[in-house]
């Protein structure tokens, strides 16, 4: 990829082709605070077939601030890209979509899954699962603006475990013109606790004709392969698994092809860190993103021999040369992260921390 390419609107046009939704086309999930341009490019270089932006407030787009605008930073290599919007008012979301379309983007996802209080208290995010009729109205308004095949919706099971609305919502969304659905099969009340109910993915797949993408507890490549086999979904989306290990996409593709993934050694992790740093230099906000890397790198090294020392150093890291010193240290570690450590969920960001 050329260096120092200015951040520009993508080459999306009304003739942009359909998104890749297939078992061997893994997506990077929308991750508030994390799925920015540098992380998306890193994941694409390691096999992500499609990426989503961090969630963007439709209302925020009407009074566009520098912060909101940066969420739409992209470049030629960052395609195909889906812009995720949140909002509960059909008129406001449609106006937000107009703004995004005018900037050259083509694909949208509507967030009906975020359980964070500042989002649900406005009736947006997971609160939309309580009102499937309005969820369908907002989706339909987006489809009228963006066109058929351009709008997906990301759902939860419902507001609580006893109040599951995803099947009702899915049928309405299909009628409203949604082109695909992503399900994170937890209730809003569940947040990120407990386990994701993959059985619901199978139920959703049986209910709708449009493609279904699975999200939820895909912490390893092996888990994603299992999820495909157990649920029959059309594709998978990595979230916390990719924050821990940006090479999860290529590991998953290797497994699907019957090959053994490359072991996750210190040397391999050093490669991710160096490349992430270079992408931040070229496409990010180096000063601000250094602080972000301080939270990302400890996740990369989770389970690696010497991880404790690396974490301790990272907390004190105040310059890019220290990031490279850490990568040098990791180069020397030929041992691999154990499978158990990769699957372990501890020490992984929750959205509350991100927003």
Ligand X SMILES: Cc1cc2nc3c(=O)[nH]c(=O)nc-3n(C[C@H](O)[C@H](O)[C@H](O)COP(=O)(O)O)c2cc1C
Residues forming the active site: 114
Decide if 82 contacts 90 (C-beta within 8 A). Answer: no
Contact status: 105 vs ligand X (CB under 6 A): no
Which of 47, 235, 241, 247 is close enough to bind ligand X by CB under 6 A?
241
Contact status: 350 vs ligand X (CB under 6 A): yes
- Candidates 1-9, 26-34, 143-151, 296-304: pick the segment binding ligand X (CB under 6 A): 26-34
Contact status: 31 vs ligand X (CB under 6 A): yes
Q: In degrees to the nearest 10, what's the CA dihedral of 13, 31, 175, 142?
A: -50
Which of 132, 246, 298, 351 is close enough to bind ligand X by CB under 6 A?
351
Nearer of residues 185 and 266 to ligand X, judged by Cβ: 185
Phi, psi for 204 (deg, rounded to 5): -65, -45
Nearer of residues 96 and 351 to ligand X, judged by Cβ: 351
**How many residues at the interface with ligand X, by CB under 6 A?**
26
Residues 197-236 that bind ligand X (CB under 6 A): 215-218
- Candidates 14-22, 25-33, 61-69, 309-317: pick the segment binding ligand X (CB under 6 A): 25-33
Contact status: 349 vs ligand X (CB under 6 A): yes
Contact status: 34 vs ligand X (CB under 6 A): yes
Nearer of residues 338 and 350 to ligand X, judged by Cβ: 350
Which of 55, 167, 201, 253 is close enough to bind ligand X by CB under 6 A?
55
Which residue from 320, 276, 350 is spatially nearest to 46, judged by alpha carbons? 276
Residues 120-179 that bind ligand X (CB under 6 A): 154
Nearer of residues 119 and 330 to ligand X, judged by Cβ: 119
Which of 19, 21, 28, 29 is close enough to bind ligand X by CB under 6 A?
29
Contact status: 84 vs ligand X (CB under 6 A): yes
Decide if 71 contacts 53 (C-beta within 8 A). Answer: yes
3-state secondary structure of 285: coil
Helix, strand, coil % in the chain, rounded to nearest 5: 45, 10, 40
Residues constituting the chain: 355
Nearer of residues 41 and 82 to ligand X, judged by Cβ: 82
Contact status: 111 vs ligand X (CB under 6 A): yes
Omega before residue 80 within 30° of 0, cis: yes
Which of 32, 48, 128, 200 is close enough to bind ligand X by CB under 6 A?
32
Measured at the alpha carbon of residue 156, what is the angle toward residues 150 and 158, in degrees to the nearest 5? 125
Nearer of residues 266 and 292 to ligand X, judged by Cβ: 292
Strands 50-52 and 81-86: parallel
- CA-CA distance, 208 to 109, in Å (whole number)? 17
- Candidates 57-65, 106-114, 157-165, 284-292: pick the segment binding ligand X (CB under 6 A): 106-114
- CA-CA distance, 51 to 31, in Å (whole number)? 10
Decide if 208 contacts 180 (C-beta within 8 A). Answer: no
Decide if 48 contacts 35 (C-beta within 8 A). Answer: no
3-state secondary structure of 83: strand
> Smallest distance from the beta carbon of 278 to ligand X, in angstroms?
23
- Candidates 136-144, 164-172, 239-247, 270-278: pick the segment binding ligand X (CB under 6 A): 239-247
- CA-CA distance, 237 to 241, in Å (whole number)? 9
> Smallest distance from the beta carbon of 232 to ligand X, in angstroms?
18
Q: What Rg value do the Cα atoms of the chain yield, rounded?
A: 19
- The site for ligand X (CB under 6 A) is made up of 29-34, 54-55, 84, 111, 113-114, 154, 184, 196, 215-218, 239-241, 349-351, 354
């Amino acid at each position: 990829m050329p260096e120092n390419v200015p951040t520009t609107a993508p080459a999306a046009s009304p003739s942009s082709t359909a998104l890749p939704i297939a078992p061997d086309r893994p997506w990077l999930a929308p991750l508030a605070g994390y799925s920015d341009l540098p992380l998306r490019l890193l994941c694409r270089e390691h096999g992500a077939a499609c990426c989503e932006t961090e969630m963007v407030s439709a209302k925020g787009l009407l009074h566009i601030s520098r912060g909101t605008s940066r969420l739409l930073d992209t470049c030629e290599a960052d395609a195909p890209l889906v812009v995720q919007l949140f909002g509960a008012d059909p008129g406001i979301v449609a106006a937000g979509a107009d703004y995004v379309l005018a900037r050259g983007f083509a694909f949208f996802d509507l967030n009906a899954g975020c359980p964070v209080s500042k989002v649900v208290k406005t009736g947006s995010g997971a609160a939309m699962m309580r009102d499937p009729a309005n969820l369908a109205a907002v989706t339909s308004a987006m489809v009228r603006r963006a066109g058929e095949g351009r709008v997906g919706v990301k759902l939860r099971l419902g507001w609580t475990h006893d109040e599951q609305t995803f099947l009702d919502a899915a049928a309405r969304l299909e009628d409203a013109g949604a082109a695909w659905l992503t399900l994170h099969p937890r209730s809003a009340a569940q947040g990120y606790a407990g386990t994701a109910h993959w059985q619901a993915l199978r139920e959703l797949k049986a209910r709708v004709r449009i493609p279904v993408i699975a999200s939820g507890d895909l912490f390893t490549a092996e888990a994603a392969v299992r999820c495909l086999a157990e649920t029959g979904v059309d594709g998978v989306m990595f979230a916390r698994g990719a924050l821990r290990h940006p090479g999860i996409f290529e590991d998953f593709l290797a497994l699907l092809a019957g090959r053994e993934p490359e072991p996750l050694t210190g040397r391999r992790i050093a490669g991710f860190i160096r490349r992430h740093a270079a992408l931040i230099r070229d496409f990010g906000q180096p000063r601000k993103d250094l602080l972000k890397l301080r939270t990302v790198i400890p996740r990369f090294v989770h389970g690696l021999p010497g991880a404790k020392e690396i974490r301790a150093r990272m907390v004190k890291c105040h310059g890019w040369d220290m990031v490279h010193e850490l990568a040098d240290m990791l180069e020397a570690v030929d041992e691999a992260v154990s499978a158990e450590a990769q699957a372990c969920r501890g020490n992984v960001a929750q959205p509350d921390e991100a927003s």
